[in-house]
Amino acid sequence: MGNSDNYKILTYEEEMKLSKQEFMDYEQRAQAYFRSKRTEIARGYAEKTHEEKTNYRTELGRQMRWQAESGLDPYAAYTAEWRENLLRFEPDLDNLIREAFVRSLN
């Protein structure tokens, strides 16, 4: 249980064929897999330079601009909860985003 090494995303049809216990085991493997991926991504992000982090965040500004150009709310994904979660591992988030938005206007 909880071993993410043998995790494979199943189709809806495959999930429906699982017994209750198999489904619970599958869900545990899925959670373990995504936890390990979050850790892997966070570690990789932490190793980036300030410049690389700013370039990474520049994509947010582009996405917001595309949302607005499409007639959608450019702030829809960027909630207070989103910001608080990111601040846990990126204390300089506000400055990075500020720099990234300026770059995205170019």
- Kindly report each contact of residues 20-23 with a partner whose C-beta sits within 8 Å and lies 24 or more positions away, as own/partner: none
Based on the fold, state whether residues 105 and 53 are members of the same structural domain: yes
Based on the fold, state whether residues 40 and 53 are members of the same structural domain: no
Residue 53 and residue 96 in contact, taking contact as beta carbons nearer than 8 Å? yes
Residue % of the chain over a pLDDT of 70: 93
Based on the fold, state whether residues 56 and 41 are members of the same structural domain: no
* Dihedral sign computed on CA atoms, order 48, 39, 36, 15: negative
Residue appearing with tokens 């991504």: 41
Based on the fold, state whether residues 76 and 89 are members of the same structural domain: yes
Q: How confident is the model at residue 20 (pLDDT cuts 50, 70, 90)?
A: very high
Based on the fold, state whether residues 55 and 103 are members of the same structural domain: yes
Based on the fold, state whether residues 60 and 96 are members of the same structural domain: yes
Based on the fold, state whether residues 2 and 23 are members of the same structural domain: yes
Residue 2 has pLDDT above 60, yes or no: no
- Tokens standing for 66? 């595309």
How many structural domains does the chain have?
2
Q: Residue 41 is part of which domain span?
A: 1-47
Based on the fold, state whether residues 41 and 57 are members of the same structural domain: no
Based on the fold, state whether residues 99 and 84 are members of the same structural domain: yes
Based on the fold, state whether residues 57 and 106 are members of the same structural domain: yes
pLDDT digits (tens, 9 = 90+) for 42-81: 788 888 898 988 888 887 777 878 888 989 888 887 788 8
Based on the fold, state whether residues 75 and 97 are members of the same structural domain: yes
Based on the fold, state whether residues 27 and 62 are members of the same structural domain: no
d(CA 67, CA 75): 9
